[in-house]
Chains A and B, each alone.
Chain A
C-alpha cells in the first residue's frame, strides 16, 4: 500500500517570497509518479506538477519546482515569487501507472500582502 505524508498543516508567507512544502511517501513499487495539486477556495483541484520516479532531474513548471530526493522518499514543492492567488491548500499525491492516487493530508498556504 502507498502512503503520503504532509506534516505541515499551514504556512504563511509574504507575497513575492518563496515557500517550500514538504512531502514524504511510502511505496513498494519500483516505478511511480508523484504529483502536486492545489485546491482552490471553490474546491476545484488544479494539477500543478509531476515527477516521474525514474527521472533524476527535478521537474519545473513556471514558478513551481520540485525537490526530489529519492533515497529519502521525499518530494518537496517550491513556489517562488508567490502571489496572493497562490493562497490555497496544496496536496501531494502519488500513484502507479493507470492506478488511482493516494493523497497527503494537505498544506494550507496563506500568502500575505
Chain B
C-alpha cells in the first residue's frame, strides 16, 4: 500500500532558529508533493506544490526564502522553516500526489519558543 512518512513528528525550536522536516513516500512514486500548514484553530493552508523536474510553486504569503523545499526524487521531499517565529507554529502536512490520489503523512508539529 501507499504510505507517507514524515520526520520528525514533533519538534521544538527557539524563536529565530530554523528546522528541517522530511517527507518520504513508500510504495508509490509521488510526482508532486504539496506542503500544507495548519495553524492552531485554523484550516490547512497550502505552502507550496513541488513537482519533480519543475519549478516549485509557492502560494501567496509563502516564499522560497522562508520555506525552501528540496524534492530530489519521486519518493522524498524536505522543507525547512527558516528563522521560525511564533506565527510559524502549527502542524505541517506533506501530501504526496500520484495522479488522482494524494496521500498524507502524519504531519510534523512545530512548536516555537
Instruction: List residues of A whose CB falls within 8 A of some B CB.
Output: 33, 37, 43-45, 47, 91, 93, 95, 97-106
Given A97-B100, A104-B43, is A43 in contact with B34 using a C-beta cutoff of 8 Å? no
User: Cβ of B49 and Cβ of A100 under 8 Å apart?
Assistant: yes
Given A33-B100, A104-B43, A105-B43, is A99 in contact with B109 using a C-beta cutoff of 8 Å? no
Main secondary structure of the interface of B (DSSP, over half): strand
CA distance in complex: A101, B43 (Å): 12
Instruction: List residues of B whose CB falls within 8 A of some A CB.
Output: 31-32, 34, 36, 42-44, 46, 49, 51, 91, 93, 95, 97, 99-100, 102, 104, 106-107, 109
Give the contacting residue for A95; candidates B31, B43, B102, B104; CB below 8 A. B102
5 closest Cβ pairs, A-B complex: A100-B34, A103-B44, A100-B49, A45-B104, A105-B43
User: Cβ of A101 and Cβ of B31 under 8 Å apart?
Assistant: no
User: Cβ of B95 and Cβ of A101 under 8 Å apart?
Assistant: yes
Contact residues in A for B91 (Cβ distance below 8 Å): 43
Contact residues in B for A102 (Cβ distance below 8 Å): 46
Residue of A nearest to B99 (CB): A98
Contact residues in A for B43 (Cβ distance below 8 Å): 91, 103-106
